[in-house]
Chains A and B, each alone.
Chain A
Amino acid sequence: MMQQADPGLREDLMRQPWALWWLQAKRLTQIELRRNLFSWRASWIYFLAFIPTLIISIHSIVDPHDPTSISDDTQMLASIVHLYYIRLGVFFGCLGIFSRLIRGEMIERSLHFYLLSPVRREVLLLSKFAAGSATALLLFVTATLANVALIYLPFGAAGRDYLFNGPGIEQLEAYVLIIVLACLGYGAVFLLLSMMFKNPTPGALLFLGWEAINPVLPSMLQKLSVASYLRHLMPVNIGVKGLIALLTVETEPVAGWVATLGLLLLITAVLLYSCYRIRTLEIRYTTE
């Protein structure tokens, strides 16, 4: 039976207009990128991404850099990524970017133009996700690169040596991977939440709470969290105490590739369910 079904499925897949879908996806992504990046409404996301960069810049201007403090600054950078970007900056930035993609257009009553276009709804959703991801990555990865440069380059030769010949470059790669996965993970979740709830903010706050208590949950439930995967990818352990330590507890050490794959699987599952949701989405602006 399977041998008979497979060629049929393959034939069916081959018949689909993949080239047209790809072209539509590229054009939709361009349109959405333009809206996401070049509007006044995006300004607070720029603020969220670059506020640490601004603070580091001010420090690098007013504080002279002692070469022996590289390890302190490395700790500070790790704290910024872990406690600010993952918990707040990327979280709320993605909430703003991804919940606007579908829900924002329903509130502005302009989503019907897309639903009346000759674009398959799954292609529409994935293109919007791609545009949102590109926006978030552009802002937060740029900010991370700028942060690294602003922290290490003022140390002069010692900073360059740490960055290019020491552990700096590996740490940078890990931070970029973490930011990329955080943007994709939070993005997928917020895109789905925005389709499920008229106001995704309470859902997002619940999700924030879930992410916060996740380290103390059973290991099965830990797999349903974005931050729990990211924690395992952190290249530098941050030594924090008190309540904040709860956010950084590592309850079950996991290999980096397992964490990456696990998060990618979670993102895929969330996107598949979002595709199902958009297939049945109806335009009823009067109830918005």
Chain B
Amino acid sequence: MNDLIVFENVSKFYGEVLGVNRVSLTIPPGITTLVGPNGSGKTTLMNLLTGLVQPSSGSISVMGLSSRDANKFFATVGYCTQFDFFPRDITGWQFLVDSLMLYGMSKLTAIQLAEESLQRVQLDKTAAWRKIDGYSKGMRQKIRLAQAIAHRPRVIVLDEPLNGLDPMARAEAMALFEALGCQGIHLIISSHVLDEVDRIADRVVLITGGYLIAEGNIHQVRQEVREKPMQVLVRCDRPEALASKMFAMNHCVEARLHPDGKGIFLRTGDVDQFYSILNVIATEGIVKIEAVAPADDDANAIYQYLIGSDGGAL
């Protein structure tokens, strides 16, 4: 058994709608984040990986296993989906133990693993005895996560695992992911917020519109992004004057007036220099600056850098 997850020229079409197209990807153990805007194909890629949907063409192998061999495959893989639904009238505890019992283990082992899993996701055992129907969104997320990792899989797939978690729970979840990553297992996490998960990730896979646009070591990809011009929104009383000053100092490659006329989007190739010049302009008092904010520090902007401003350069 090898330790790689391999997508070979995988495409998935839902009728005429593209899910993912010609994805070839090899994922070694460690933490890999799948990043892309909503509808980019992250969930399709994860569903393909775990056999919930079948590829229209191409093949997928997870450590040499196929999802068709359910016994071996799902003993190796755990998937925490983003579907926020559960069987009705069931307690969190029952949900965990029922799931574990299907692995063929004894009830005692199932109970031990369920307890261990609850501890890992920091969900109180008394809460687990309550019906899931009454859980908060964060608790439902935790019990789903507990169920995905309870059987100690070697590949854990987590679709938007931080959704619905409060800041404290997010920090706990991140610590758990980091700990799992240190155990040499595969941890594949999807997120539409790059900065949220890149801190702990070894690798990143950027996907948009069903196409893989970049993958590799997170630092390499971020560097690639950094080399692209960055857009900043400056709220001020005289946007035209500010644009003219910035262009005169050769630090802007693009300017676009904000729709309300009280600000301007400026694109710069050297963001550090840009802020220095902006400070000078503010000190001079030519333009009264009210607020400055990066306009593209999210994943969508990164895609625009990588694939073109219309998002359809591919």
List chain A positions with a Cβ less than 8 A from chain B.
17, 20, 23-24, 27-28, 31, 35, 39, 41, 105, 108-110, 112-113, 115-121, 280, 282-285, 287
B312 at the interface (CB under 8 A from A): no
Q: Which residue of A lies closest to B53 (CB)?
A: A282
Most A Cβ at <10 Å: residue of B72, B74, B75, B101: B101
Most A Cβ at <10 Å: residue of B70, B73, B102: B102
**Which residues of B are found within 8 Å of A115, using beta-carbon distances?**
51-52
- Given the known A-B contacts A23-B104, A112-B83, are A118 and B73 also in contact in the complex, defined by CB atoms under 8 Å? yes
Most A Cβ at <10 Å: residue of B47, B70, B103: B70
B89 at the interface (CB under 8 A from A): yes
Instruction: Verify A112–B104 contact, CB threshold 8 A.
Output: no
**A39 interface neighbour in B50, B54, B89, B99, Cβ under 8 Å:** B89
Instruction: Verify B101–A27 contact, CB threshold 8 A.
Output: yes
Bound CA span A24–B99, Å:
11
8 contacts between A and B (CB under 8 A): A41-B88, A105-B87, A108-B88, A115-B51, A119-B70, A120-B71, A282-B53, A285-B83
**Which residues of A are found within 8 Å of B79, using beta-carbon distances?**
116
Instruction: Verify A284–B74 contact, CB threshold 8 A.
Output: no
**B71 interface neighbour in A17, A39, A110, A283, Cβ under 8 Å:** A17
Least distance between A80 CB and chain B CB atoms (Å): 33
Least distance between B97 CB and chain A CB atoms (Å): 10
Q: Which residue of B lies closest to A21 (CB)?
A: B71
**Which residues of B are found within 8 Å of A287, using beta-carbon distances?**
14
**Which residues of B are found within 8 Å of A282, using beta-carbon distances?**
52-54
- Given the known A-B contacts A115-B52, A282-B53, are A109 and B83 also in contact in the complex, defined by CB atoms under 8 Å? yes
What mask results when residues 192 to 235 of chain B are scored 1 for a CB within 8 Å of chain A, else 0?
00000000000000000000000000000000000000000000
Bound CA span A45–B256, Å:
65
Bound CA span A29–B52, Å:
22
Instruction: Verify A284–B14 contact, CB threshold 8 A.
Output: yes
Most A Cβ at <10 Å: residue of B47, B51, B79, B87: B87
Instruction: Verify A35–B87 contact, CB threshold 8 A.
Output: yes
B86 at the interface (CB under 8 A from A): yes
B59 at the interface (CB under 8 A from A): no
Bound CA span A24–B75, Å:
13
Bound CA span A110–B98, Å:
14
- Total B residues in contact with A, Cβ cutoff 8 Å: 28
Bound CA span A244–B14, Å:
47
B122 at the interface (CB under 8 A from A): no
Q: Which residue of A lies closest to B43 (CB)?
A: A286
Most A Cβ at <10 Å: residue of B79, B85, B147: B85
Instruction: Verify A24–B53 contact, CB threshold 8 A.
Output: no
**Which residues of A are found within 8 Å of B71, using beta-carbon distances?**
17, 20, 118-120
Bound CA span A121–B71, Å:
10
Q: Which residue of A lies closest to B78 (CB)?
A: A116
Least distance between B87 CB and chain A CB atoms (Å): 5
Bound CA span A31–B100, Å:
12
Instruction: Verify B53–A284 contact, CB threshold 8 A.
Output: yes
Bound CA span A53–B299, Å:
65
Instruction: Verify A117–B53 contact, CB threshold 8 A.
Output: no
4 A-B pairs with least C-beta separation = A109-B85, A118-B74, A283-B52, A282-B53
- Apart from A118-B72, A118-B73, A283-B47, list 9 A-B contacts with CB within 8 A: A27-B98, A109-B83, A112-B83, A113-B86, A113-B147, A115-B51, A116-B74, A119-B70, A284-B53
Bound CA span A285–B81, Å:
12
Instruction: Verify B102–A119 contact, CB threshold 8 A.
Output: yes
Least distance between B270 CB and chain A CB atoms (Å): 43
Bound CA span A259–B83, Å:
46
Instruction: Verify B88–A283 contact, CB threshold 8 A.
Output: no
Bound CA span A120–B86, Å:
21
Instruction: Verify B85–A108 contact, CB threshold 8 A.
Output: yes
Q: Which residue of A lies closest to B19 (CB)?
A: A284
Q: Which residue of A lies closest to B89 (CB)?
A: A39
- Given the known A-B contacts A35-B87, A110-B85, A284-B14, are A117 and B74 also in contact in the complex, defined by CB atoms under 8 Å? yes
Bound CA span A38–B53, Å:
32
**Which residues of A are found within 8 Å of B75, using beta-carbon distances?**
118
**Which residues of B are found within 8 Å of A108, using beta-carbon distances?**
85, 87-88
Least distance between B135 CB and chain A CB atoms (Å): 14
Instruction: Verify B98–A112 contact, CB threshold 8 A.
Output: no
What mask results when residues 1 to 45 of chain B are scored 1 for a CB within 8 Å of chain A, else 0?
000000000000010000000000000000000000000000000
Q: Which residue of A lies closest to B90 (CB)?
A: A35
Instruction: Verify A24–B52 contact, CB threshold 8 A.
Output: no
Q: Which residue of A lies closest to B85 (CB)?
A: A109
Instruction: Verify B103–A113 contact, CB threshold 8 A.
Output: no
Q: Which residue of A lies closest to B144 (CB)?
A: A113
